[in-house]
Amino acid sequence: MPSNAPETSGTTRRTSNHQAPGAAANRRSARRVLLRGVGVGTVGVLLAGAATVAVVADGESANTWQTPAAATTVDPQVTPSPDGPAPSVPVTDPTDVPSIDAKMPMTAAEARKGEYWLDEYGVRDAWKEATGEGVKIAVIDTGVDGSHPDLQGAVGPGTDVSGAGSSDGQEGLGAEPPHGTMVSSVAAGRGHGAASDGEPGGGTGVIGVAPEAEILPVSTWLGTEKAGVRSTDEQIPDAVRWAVDNGADVINMSVGSPQQTWPESWDSAFEYAEEKDVLIIAAAGNRGNGITQVGAPATIPSVLTVGGVDRNGEAGWESSSQGISISVAAPSEDLVGAVPGNSYQDWTGTSAAAPIVSGTAALIMDKYPDLSAQEVAHRITASAQDAGATGRDPLYGYGILDVQAAVSGDVPPMEGNGPLGSMAEWVEVHRRHESKETPTATGSAQPLTDQVTTEAKPPEPVEPLNSTGALPVFILAGFGLLVAGVTGAAAWHIRWLLRGGKKSGRK
């Protein structure tokens, strides 16, 4: 334990529970293949902003994962919903879309080899201190395939809040059905096969940053609208509340929207998570799918927002966005994740960066179980390597993630209430202030006075004192007598003085 480990807040955590980079084309992976139709306005194919795809089944076979039939056929009931929350994955220029016949096989061993962040960001070093054991990460996304070899034993109880998925949250939904499985594998995948010396989990396949953490899948339908599916105004807050009530320590939200504001229906759920000391980590979104500025839920106070950087540590252009709410930047290009069907997929975007940070939070919680959510966020932000403009900036936040330092390094004491702000305070200022407006006649606000139950009686009439006219005459007469008296007394006094003066002169 570091000699100056941060002071605890007394809250016991559940343990049972700066510059723009160069042209994006120079950074694209040679293995990326896009499904035909992405970003060309075809309804019912993929979300406009779909992940680049390059997948094969585990092993050496030539089987390539295909988008499920339901997603490759135009569904007249499904319409695009670009303005709502959607999986935070970028779209590539349609002119770069190759043929669907292109296949770039990737074995489980190649997937593990592709996880460059395990060494470059200090994950393997951090495993010497913690592995995420006892920490629960809720993944609010498109469903998680718990049968994937790299996720077997890692997925716990789940739910569906869309009204269209399986009750355990393990069915892929919406515009990007594999998305939630990919997120989960990066956060807490366990790999499979024989273990590597000195490492947790299996020695092949995707291993997550916190390979002994537990995933709680919460499936949502995002990116498109479909008849019978609940609105995101309902899905998102219900998902957050369910995660909190079911013991989540971290909530990963690799979803984004172009709006900086959010529905008022979300307020109480995020305030509830803050009250229960649950850390929410959200993706900043990507310019590649139209999110040039960080959008909700990543703009909500008390949420740790994750931006993205490329292999050179420069802010991702298509694979990230910008905004004052970004707290930290993590790898968002040339990543790999597990997808349903025992397969693997290259991907890019802050959707992939967020679970790396969620896994880091789980490692910190494993090692320091008494830290509050804000203190965990402080270790992540205070240990980040400054990049771009000095101090916090809208591209990198406090800096680039350093997993080993966040888990084992010395960090300065946390100032104030923490780096993330408070949702409760925001609501008090911005929502309750609005509710104090004068109620209208049809409003439902409580009356300001007690209800009157008896009829008010007018006062009895009283005759004025001068109604007869006597009062003014009396006053005038009295004043006249007073003047006459004063005048007489003055005359008498003058005569007396005159007589006295004469007598004095004779003497």
Within a domain: 54: no
Distance CA 282, CA 447 (A): 42
* Kind and range of the H or E run holding 470: helix 470-506
Beta strands in 179-223 (DSSP E): 190-192, 204-207, 214-219
pLDDT digits (tens, 9 = 90+) for 278-309: 999 999 999 887 888 999 999 999 999 999 99
pLDDT digits (tens, 9 = 90+) for 354-372: 999 999 999 999 999 999 9
Q: Residue 293, SS3?
A: strand
pLDDT digits (tens, 9 = 90+) for 468-478: 444 455 555 66
Output the pLDDT for position 431: 87
Nearest to 349 by CA among 140, 27, 89: 89
Within a domain: 411: yes
Non-local (6+) Cβ contacts of 291 within 8 A are: 88, 256, 257, 258, 284, 285, 321
* Kind and range of the H or E run holding 338: strand 335-339
Q: Residue 344, SS3?
A: strand
434, burial (CB in 10 Å: exposed 0-12, middle 13-18, buried 19+) = exposed
How do strand 136-141 and strand 159-160 relate by DSSP bridges?
unpaired
Within a domain: 71: no
- The residue segments making up the domain with residue 419 are 82-92+105-431
Output the pLDDT for position 433: 60
Within a domain: 167: yes
The DSSP bridge partners found for residue 343 are 57, 339
CATH number reported for the structural domain that contains residue 425 in this entry: 3.40.50.200
Distance CA 122, CA 447 (A): 61
The one-letter code for the residue type at 426 is W
Non-local (6+) Cβ contacts of 419 within 8 A are: 327, 374, 377, 378, 381, 382, 398
pLDDT digits (tens, 9 = 90+) for 412-430: 999 999 999 999 999 999 9
Within a domain: 246: yes
More confident residue, 163 or 85: 163
Buried/exposed code over 233-246 (b: 16+ C-beta within 10 A; e: otherwise): ebbbbbbbbbbbeb
pLDDT digits (tens, 9 = 90+) for 369-420: 999 999 999 999 999 999 999 999 999 999 999 999 999 999 999 999 999 9
Within a domain: 47: no
Which of left, alpha, beta for 128 (phi over 0: left; psi -120 to 50: alpha)?
alpha
Buried/exposed code over 186-222 (b: 16+ C-beta within 10 A; e: otherwise): bbbbbbbbeeeeeebbbbbbbbbbbbbbbbbbbbbbb
What is the set of active-site residues?
141, 179, 351
- In the chain, the percentage of residues whose pLDDT exceeds 90 is 59
pTM listed for this prediction: 0.71
Number of domains in the chain: 1
Within a domain: 61: no
- Are the C-beta atoms of residues 355 and 208 closer than 8 Å to each other? yes
Non-local (6+) Cβ contacts of 226 within 8 A are: 75, 77, 78, 164
Average pLDDT over the chain, rounded to an integer: 77
- Are the C-beta atoms of residues 104 and 53 closer than 8 Å to each other? no
Which of left, alpha, beta for 388 (phi over 0: left; psi -120 to 50: alpha)?
left
